[in-house]
Amino acid sequence: MQVFGSSGTRGRVTEELTPDFVLRVAAAAGTVWGVDRVALGRDTRLTGPMLVNTAASGLASVGADVDRLGIVPTPALQSYAADEGVPGVMITASHNPPAYNGIKLVGADGVELSVERLEAIESALLDDDPAYADWDMTGRDRTVEWAGRAYIRELLGAADREAIAAADLTVALDPGHGAGALTSPEFFRELGCSVHTVNAHPDGHFPGRDPEPVETNLSDLGHLVRATDADVGVAHDGDADRAIFFDETGSYIEGDATLAALADATLSAGDTTVSAVNVSQRLVDVAAATGADLELTPIGSTRIMTRIRELQQAGERVPVAGEGNGGVIFPAYRINRDGAYTAARFLELITEASASEVVAPYNGYANVRRNVHYKDEAERATLVERAGEWARGTEGEVTTIDGYRVDFGDAWVLARPSGTEPVVRVYAEAHERERATELVDRLVEVLEAAAASGG
């Protein structure tokens, strides 16, 4: 998959991502789907209306009517697609900066397309031969204004409303000017929480913060938690399919700790959970302690969701999966990432204990990361090969899904070429910083020696 990459197609609008490209992707998707109706939504980006218009034209040109949902979270578009039994196109760049936009494609089951389906659309795109409809069969469009409301109703039905309302929680919310600004405040209020917000008006300039919910972007939320004496802080990315949390003291909670806490509360012996190859030791430990299997995929939510479907088809139970970036998947609800639903599941955990107590067992891990630069493709290949030799020579369990990961039981180390820079990234995680540093240093030394000797 060159066009769709690990999490859809994204780029700086008009430089990398042009209206023409969006039109061609929409026409190719409409050609492969061959359906008479498609849902179309967007996040709050300034370029959203322009790209929605070209996507609508592409879809209509191959005979699909278009349901325009306007600004909705990606999981709201997915909920609509599943309810109506129509595929969907979402114009969003998720957590990327304001100048970016992109396309996510959703099947008629409300689930992001599998790698296989995306490849079919990618090859239709490269063939550049859309199945244009006759003039009188081209699609019409209509505006659907209730998709956000229907999504909130679905969320309320899926969450443990009674327990959350009984706990009388105060939620500080930072939707980051994204699509979640239109649904999450109402959802948490209807769950029975008191809600205080910051950066809660939809604004494609993202004046208050960048769409990515990482600690450095979220200082407003920490202040809001303290100022309002909230029980928890919740932050979304631009299309609100992710949730990152702050505890009741206004401290940032690592996404890996949240994922481990949610997995611990959800997994039983014999279950399988799925994460990417850079998965935290926290989830490794939870899976081991529970007696659940942990399956790893290449990095990217599309890969994780594709693997969940394969496991389910093979009869495995996969109640929870995801990554430490706030993208958690509860397949019994839907095989998607949903920031509001993830937050509701976290609220369920803090009905009995404070947020800091809930995540305390999953703190106390250290991550170390270093880069090894390479000059050219030959040197890159040498470094990867040496990493492989080193990995196989250790006592650990080697995973070769994406670079080389070695699990030692108490710690892991991963060497993986970056997709964007001429470096091999070396990561490690352990309970003790010393242990993680030692693993990274050992592997970096091997790679640097290989680079210095010219292979």
- Just list the catalytic residues: 94
User: By three-state DSSP, how is residue 386 classified?
Assistant: helix
Please tell me whether residue 237 binds Mg ion under the rule CB under 5 A.
Answer: yes
Between 183 and 290, CB nearer to Mg ion: 183
Residue 4 CA to residue 128 CA, distance in Å, equals 16
C-beta of 255: minimal distance to Mg ion in Å? 13
C-beta of 63: minimal distance to Mg ion in Å? 30
Q: What is 87-127 written as a DSSP string?
A: -EEEE--TTS-TTEEEEEEE-TTSSBPPHHHHHHHHHHHHH
DSSP state of 316: -
Q: Which of 54, 61, 79, 94 binds Mg ion (CB under 5 A)?
A: 94
* Cβ partners under 8 Å of residue 313, min gap 6: none
User: By three-state DSSP, how is residue 260 classified?
Assistant: helix
Task: Identify which range of 46-54, 88-96, 308-316, 359-367 contacts Mg ion by CB under 5 A.
Answer: 88-96
Please tell me whether residue 9 binds Mg ion under the rule CB under 5 A.
Answer: no
Please tell me whether residue 379 binds Mg ion under the rule CB under 5 A.
Answer: no
Find out whether 322 and 297 touch, Cβ atoms under 8 Å.
no
Between 250 and 255, CB nearer to Mg ion: 255
Please tell me whether residue 247 binds Mg ion under the rule CB under 5 A.
Answer: no
- Residue facing Mg ion at closest CB distance: 94
Q: Which of 239, 247, 271, 379 binds Mg ion (CB under 5 A)?
A: 239
Task: Identify which range of 237-245, 276-284, 349-357, 381-389 contacts Mg ion by CB under 5 A.
Answer: 237-245
C-beta of 144: minimal distance to Mg ion in Å? 21
Q: What is 118-163 written as a DSSP string?
A: HHHHHHHHHHT---PPPGGGS--EEE---HHHHHHHHHHHHS-HHH
C-beta of 283: minimal distance to Mg ion in Å? 20
C-beta of 240: minimal distance to Mg ion in Å? 7
Please tell me whether residue 256 binds Mg ion under the rule CB under 5 A.
Answer: no
Angle between helices 147-158 and 74-84 (to 10 degrees): 90
Task: Identify which range of 6-14, 92-100, 138-146, 357-365 contacts Mg ion by CB under 5 A.
Answer: 92-100
Q: Using CB under 5 A as the criterion, what x/- string covers residues 189-228 for binding Mg ion?
A: ----------------------------------------
What letters, b where the CB count within 10 A reaches 16 and e where it falls short, cover 280-315? bbbbbbbbeebebbbbbbbbbbbbbbbbbeebeeee
Residue 346 CA to residue 265 CA, distance in Å, equals 10
| Residue 191 CA: distances (Å) to CA of 79, 177, 202, 230 | 19, 22, 22, 15
User: What's the distance, Cα to Cα, between the start and end of the chain in Å?
Assistant: 30
Please tell me whether residue 241 binds Mg ion under the rule CB under 5 A.
Answer: yes
Q: With contacts defined by CB under 5 A, how many residues of the chain interact with Mg ion? A: 4
Please tell me whether residue 338 binds Mg ion under the rule CB under 5 A.
Answer: no
C-beta of 175: minimal distance to Mg ion in Å? 12
Q: Is the dihedral of CA 326, 330, 336, 340 positive or negative?
A: negative
Between 55 and 286, CB nearer to Mg ion: 55
Task: Identify which range of 26-34, 91-99, 104-112, 169-177 contacts Mg ion by CB under 5 A.
Answer: 91-99
User: By three-state DSSP, how is residue 397 classified?
Assistant: strand
- Residues of this chain that interact with Mg ion (CB under 5 A) are 94, 237, 239, 241
